[in-house]
């Protein structure tokens, strides 16, 4: 699903939000400070599989090499140094973990770091399982089965060309592999042979409690059971795609799949569990029946404690479609399942939209008071006039994908089936678009010069009286449109499409990419940015387009929305609530009176509460820390809090453990701040311990390696609800 639209630079924002969260004043950096891209929120992409070596050593892998590790208290990123998608994971211990994925990728974790192994294939690998460090199997496309003997990977003869997706065994002589077209293979320690599954549905996962109690799951709610003699169908009571299976025993088995589906088997029958999410779930694993993890889309991680499922904070969340704002202290982003996020320059807060419909675009104006319009699924239009957010009557159930106006009394919304709506300040009415193509974005230079773009190269123009079709010269979908004037308009779309309108006709530009470009915005005709798939950001300087960012900054998440703030700062949003900022500010986004620096090194600290309020025991909050002026230096970083006993307790080993009273241990030791990082940023989740309540001072400090004296320290206060 592609659709994007950039809002012009003179947008307003919800006064409601300002009233709720107060006025935050930030201190911009000195003129001429280095401009750079920074990630200011989110970034963990879809997770495909999960495995653990115990309740305090759980690994989750996913898209673009994203790997997370859970230490029993919080999740943190473990870098695999790859952009390959990872699909399967298994280990013999926490210091012997294997992950497989795209184009034959096999990676090994030794407890310290990930390294790539030579698989000998370029076929995608989907599943992995073993009995020991010297007996590991991997399966993939075209019947691929590989075996690892502790020294090297070698091919095995599978006897099939079906894609193989899942693998599990009860022993080294009793291994099952499942895949496309109902394929089930069995390995007896000597060779692989095909089994009769009785289905042509793709099977994705396999697991068992013994050699005579094996389950396989797949498309259309398929669940098969093997009793040691033959496979038979079980009633799942669903037609959803089922992607993964794990159990603690023969009477305690879990299955996860499409749209948040979780099923449980009690030894007699399958029944649904409430997951609390509509995100797809791709992997499941547990250390016991009271300690089960499920992972899926947009970094979703769910936890089962033996009674119910709850969402864990992995600093991940829903896709963000669009972003706009008034200044770098007043920014709003909208996205999946009614998500509205407000950024005050320091922290993000969620705003209750009153809907679970996806929200696709936002536009606003201060020309006659505060007016903000948000559009989305099923004809959703939300409007704020500075007091509250209310739903408007759009008169349509079609998805609305773009919104723009020349004033609060002249607003256009576009959507599926050629839908164009117009708001005159009193009500919305349908306009005749003359097309049935889906319209994905709208922008104009004035009330009589409006452009709408969409599928199949559709570009429409409104002259103040009627809409007419323009010749775009392409059949590619056009996803966004923006211009600096009526004779300088840009449009972007699929397959790297960039078009330019000079006031007379559209012409194609060379973009330098074949990936889709979802949104475009700029500050002038010679300063234009386009964003798109796999973390790409492209810049136009008035003469040519060039790449503006290393996609790893966005962790290769697709980017969907872009906005240029007054003053030139740029904000970008995308998958998993990824938010990036490009600007000149080289100062910390907090009151500088809160801390004093030494030798030019200055830390800053803030707390981010995902639910918008202070947490209580058992809940997570995010710690956001910055270090300024420390380029090309090596530092020890410390994070600690003071308990009512008066002692300081330091988080050690990147938060993996807690030191004793006043035991000064680095959070990160010998951390190098590279020369291209004028601002070094850390984000990590922390869980409030059970029984905690009241106020706790938190401290973030930096020091020379091995020194007992801080160069500089800053603090904040955590207030925990009873």
Between 192-196, 265-269, 390-394, 511-515, the lowest mean confidence (pLDDT) is in 511-515
Question: 453 and 384 share a domain?
Answer: yes
Question: 528 and 649 share a domain?
Answer: no
Pairing of the two strands 281-288 and 67-70: unpaired
Question: 438 and 472 share a domain?
Answer: yes
* pLDDT tops 60 at residue 370: yes
Question: Which of the listed ranges 3-17, 180-194, 325-339, 370-384 does the model predict with the highest average pLDDT?
Answer: 180-194
* In contact, 584 and 30? CB cutoff 8 Å: no
Predicted local distance difference test score (pLDDT) of residue 171: 95
Structure tokens at 546: 């060039």
* pLDDT tops 80 at residue 590: no
Buried b or exposed e, range 390-417, using 16+ CB within 10 angstroms: eebebebebbbbbbbbbebebbbbbbbe
CA nearest neighbour of 437 among 422, 421, 457: 457
Structure tokens at 148: 């690892």
* pLDDT tops 80 at residue 316: no
pLDDT band of residue 227 (cuts 50, 70, 90) is: very high
Whole-angstrom distance, CA of residue 259 vs CA of residue 157: 36
User: Cα(first)–Cα(last) distance of the chain, in Å?
Assistant: 43
Question: 109 and 184 share a domain?
Answer: yes
CA nearest neighbour of 211 among 159, 265, 174, 167: 174
* In contact, 50 and 59? CB cutoff 8 Å: yes
Question: Does residue 589 sit within a domain?
Answer: no
CA nearest neighbour of 351 among 328, 378, 374, 327: 374
Q: Report the sign of the C-alpha dihedral through residues 234, 237, 240, 244, in that order.
A: negative
pLDDT band of residue 301 (cuts 50, 70, 90) is: confident
* In contact, 44 and 555? CB cutoff 8 Å: yes
- At 583, give phi and psi (nearest 5°): -170, 180
Question: 357 and 440 share a domain?
Answer: yes
Question: Does residue 593 sit within a domain?
Answer: no
CA nearest neighbour of 698 among 678, 681, 684, 680: 684
Question: 550 and 407 share a domain?
Answer: yes
Q: Report the sign of the C-alpha dihedral through residues 676, 656, 699, 66, in that order.
A: positive
Whole-angstrom distance, CA of residue 701 vs CA of residue 695: 20
Predicted local distance difference test score (pLDDT) of residue 389: 83
Pairing of the two strands 371-376 and 381-384: antiparallel
Question: 339 and 305 share a domain?
Answer: no
CA nearest neighbour of 482 among 509, 451, 512: 451
Predicted local distance difference test score (pLDDT) of residue 642: 79
Between 63-67, 339-343, 582-586, the lowest mean confidence (pLDDT) is in 582-586
CA–CA distances in Å: residue 261 to residues 223, 237, 303: 14, 11, 14
Q: Is 36 or 529 the better-scoring residue by pLDDT?
A: 529
Whole-angstrom distance, CA of residue 175 vs CA of residue 129: 9
What would the pLDDT profile of 525-536 be if each residue is shown by its tens digit? 898 999 888 778
* pLDDT tops 50 at residue 176: yes
Pairing of the two strands 192-195 and 668-673: unpaired
Predicted local distance difference test score (pLDDT) of residue 673: 66
What single DSSP character describes residue 159?
Answer: S
* In contact, 110 and 117? CB cutoff 8 Å: no
- Count CB atoms within 10 A of the CB of residue 654: 21
Show which of 288, 311, 334 is a domain's final residue. 311
CA nearest neighbour of 651 among 671, 634, 668: 668
* In contact, 443 and 6? CB cutoff 8 Å: yes
* pLDDT tops 50 at residue 24: no
Question: 545 and 628 share a domain?
Answer: no
Q: Tell me the three-class secondary structure of 598-610, residue by residue.
A: ECCEEEEEEEECC
The whole-number average pLDDT for the span 317-340 is 67
The whole-number average pLDDT for the span 565-585 is 69
Whole-angstrom distance, CA of residue 80 vs CA of residue 705: 26
Whole-angstrom distance, CA of residue 52 vs CA of residue 423: 54
Q: How many domains does the chain divide into?
A: 3
Question: Does residue 153 sit within a domain?
Answer: yes
* pLDDT tops 80 at residue 501: yes
* pLDDT tops 70 at residue 25: no
Whole-angstrom distance, CA of residue 485 vs CA of residue 470: 17
3-class SS at 519? strand
* pLDDT tops 80 at residue 240: yes
Q: Is 437 or 562 the better-scoring residue by pLDDT?
A: 437
Show which of 311, 326, 359 is a domain's final residue. 311
Whole-angstrom distance, CA of residue 140 vs CA of residue 163: 6
Average pLDDT, the chain: 80
What would the pLDDT profile of 249-283 be if each residue is shown by its tens digit? 999 999 999 989 999 999 999 999 998 888 889 99
Q: Is 560 or 266 the better-scoring residue by pLDDT?
A: 266
Question: Does residue 7 sit within a domain?
Answer: no
* pLDDT tops 80 at residue 313: no
Question: 609 and 623 share a domain?
Answer: yes
Question: 356 and 471 share a domain?
Answer: yes
Between 296-300, 554-558, 650-654, the lowest mean confidence (pLDDT) is in 554-558
Question: Which of the listed ranges 301-310, 487-496, 567-576, 644-653 does the model predict with the highest average pLDDT?
Answer: 487-496
What single DSSP character describes residue 616?
Answer: B
* pLDDT tops 90 at residue 290: no
Question: 556 and 471 share a domain?
Answer: yes
Show which of 264, 288, 311 is a domain's final residue. 311
Structure tokens at 238: 């669903």
Q: Tell me the three-class secondary structure of 657-713, residue by residue.
A: EECCCCCCCCCEEEEEECCCCCEEEEEEEEECCCCCCEEEEEEEEEECCCCCCCCEE
Between 68-77, 541-550, 586-595, the lowest mean confidence (pLDDT) is in 586-595
Sheet hosting strand 213-218, strand order edge to edge = 203-210, 213-218, 223-226, 231-233
Question: Does residue 31 sit within a domain?
Answer: yes
Predicted local distance difference test score (pLDDT) of residue 557: 64
CA–CA distances in Å: residue 643 to residues 258, 661, 692: 44, 9, 10
Please report, rounded to a whole number, the percentage of residues in the chain having pLDDT higher than 70. 76
What single DSSP character describes residue 565?
Answer: P
- Count CB atoms within 10 A of the CB of residue 387: 11
What would the pLDDT profile of 435-473 be if each residue is shown by its tens digit? 999 999 999 999 999 999 999 999 999 999 999 999 999
Between 249-253, 417-421, 509-513, 561-565, the lowest mean confidence (pLDDT) is in 561-565
pLDDT band of residue 564 (cuts 50, 70, 90) is: confident
Question: Does residue 10 sit within a domain?
Answer: no
Structure tokens at 129: 């399982």
Question: Does residue 591 sit within a domain?
Answer: no
Predicted local distance difference test score (pLDDT) of residue 23: 19
Looking at the DSSP bridge assignments, the partners of residue 75 are 70
- 699: domain CATH number is 2.60.40.10
- 487: domain CATH number is 2.130.10.10
Question: 494 and 408 share a domain?
Answer: yes
pLDDT band of residue 612 (cuts 50, 70, 90) is: very low
Question: Does residue 668 sit within a domain?
Answer: yes
* pLDDT tops 70 at residue 30: no
**Kind and range of the H or E run holding 17:** helix 15-21
Whole-angstrom distance, CA of residue 402 vs CA of residue 392: 16
The whole-number average pLDDT for the span 506-524 is 89
CA nearest neighbour of 478 among 466, 467, 489, 462: 489
Percentage helix, strand, coil, to 5, in the chain?
10, 50, 40
Domain span including residue 495: 15-42+317-583
Predicted local distance difference test score (pLDDT) of residue 689: 67
Residues 6+ apart with CB under 8 A from 595: 602, 603, 604, 712, 713, 714, 715
Q: Is 310 or 570 the better-scoring residue by pLDDT?
A: 310
- Count CB atoms within 10 A of the CB of residue 46: 22
């Amino acid at each position: 699903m592609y659709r994007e639209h950039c809002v012009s630079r003179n947008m307003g924002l919800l006064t409601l939000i300002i009233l709720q969260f107060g006025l935050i004043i930030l201190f911009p950096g000195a003129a001429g400070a280095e401009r750079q891209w920074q990630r200011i929120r989110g970034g963990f992409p879809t997770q495909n599989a999960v495995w653990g070596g115990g309740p305090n050593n759980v690994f989750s892998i996913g898209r673009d090499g994203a790997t997370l590790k859970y230490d029993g208290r919080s999740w943190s990123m473990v870098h695999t140094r790859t952009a390959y998608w990872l699909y399967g994971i298994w280990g013999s211990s926490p210091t012997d973990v294997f992950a497989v994925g795209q184009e034959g990728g096999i990676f090994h974790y030794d407890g310290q770091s990930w390294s790539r192994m030579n698989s000998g294939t370029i076929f995608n690998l989907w599943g992995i399982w073993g009995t020991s460090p010297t007996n590991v199997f991997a399966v993939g496309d075209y019947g691929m089965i590989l075996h690892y003997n502790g020294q090297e990977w070698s091919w095995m003869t599978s006897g099939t060309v079906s894609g193989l997706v899942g693998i599990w065994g009860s022993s080294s002589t009793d291994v099952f592999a499942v895949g496309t077209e109902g394929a089930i293979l069995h390995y007896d320690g000597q060779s692989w042979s095909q089994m009769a599954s009785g289905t042509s549905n793709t099977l994705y996962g396999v697991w068992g409690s013994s050699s005579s109690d094996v389950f396989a799951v797949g498309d259309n709610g398929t669940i098969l059971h093997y009793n040691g003699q033959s496979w038979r169908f079980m009633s799942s009571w669903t037609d959803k795609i089922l992607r993964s299976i794990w159990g603690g025993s023969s009477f305690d088995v879990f299955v996860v799949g499409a749209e948040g589906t979780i099923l449980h088997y009690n030894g007699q029958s399958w029944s649904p569990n409430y997951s609390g999410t509509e995100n797809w779930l791709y992997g499941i694993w547990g250390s016991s029946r009271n300690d089960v993890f499920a992972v899926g889309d947009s970094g979703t991680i769910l936890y089962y404690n033996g009674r119910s499922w709850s969402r864990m904070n992995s600093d991940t969340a829903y896709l963000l479609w669009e972003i706009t704002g008034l200044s770098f202290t007043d920014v709003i982003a909208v996205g999946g399942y009614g998500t509205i996020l407000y950024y005050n320059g320091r922290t993000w807060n969620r705003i209750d939209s009153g809907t679970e419909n996806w929200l696709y675009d936002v536009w606003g104006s201060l020309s006659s008071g505060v007016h903000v319009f948000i559009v989305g699924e099923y004809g959703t239009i939300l409007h704020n006039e500075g007091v509250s957010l209310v739903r408007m009557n759009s008169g349509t159930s079609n998805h609305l994908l773009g919104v723009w106006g020349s004033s609060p009394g002249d607003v256009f919304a576009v959507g599926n089936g050629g839908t164009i709506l117009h708001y005159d300040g009193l009500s919305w009415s349908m306009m005749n678009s003359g097309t049935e193509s889906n319209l994905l974005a709208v922008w104009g230079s004035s009330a009589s010069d409006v452009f709408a773009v969409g599928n199949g190269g559709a570009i429409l123009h409104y002259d103040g009286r009627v809409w007419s079709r323009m010749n775009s010269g392409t059949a590619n979908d056009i996803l966004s449109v923006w211009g600096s004037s009526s004779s300088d308009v840009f449009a972007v779309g699929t397959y790297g499409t960039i078009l330019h309108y000079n006031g007379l006709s559209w012409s194609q530009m060379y973009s330098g990419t074949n990936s889709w470009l979802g949104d475009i915005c700029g500050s002038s005709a010679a300063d234009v940015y386009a964003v798109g798939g796999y973390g790409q950001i492209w810049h136009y300087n008035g003469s040519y387009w060039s790449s503006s960012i290393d996609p790893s900054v966005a962790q290769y998440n697709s980017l969907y929305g872009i906005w240029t703030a007054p003053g030139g700062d740029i904000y970008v949003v995308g998958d998993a609530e990824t938010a990036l900022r490009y600007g000149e500010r080289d100062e910390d986004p907090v009151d500088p009176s809160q801390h004093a620096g030494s030798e030019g090194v200055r830390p800053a600290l803030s707390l981010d509460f995902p639910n918008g309020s202070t947490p209580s025991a058992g809940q997570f909050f995010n710690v956001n820390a910055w270090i300024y002026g420390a380029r090309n230096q090596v530092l020890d970083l410390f994070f600690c809090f003071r308990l009512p006993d008066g002692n300081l307790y330091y988080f050690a080993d990147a938060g993996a453990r807690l030191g004793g009273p006043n035991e000064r241990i680095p959070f990160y030791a010998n951390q190098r701040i590279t020369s291209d990082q004028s601002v070094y940023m850390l984000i990590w989740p922390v869980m409030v311990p059970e029984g905690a309540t009241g106020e706790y001072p938190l401290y973030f400090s930096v020091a020379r390696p091995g020194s007992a004296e801080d160069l500089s320290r800053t603090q904040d206060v955590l207030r925990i609800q009873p």
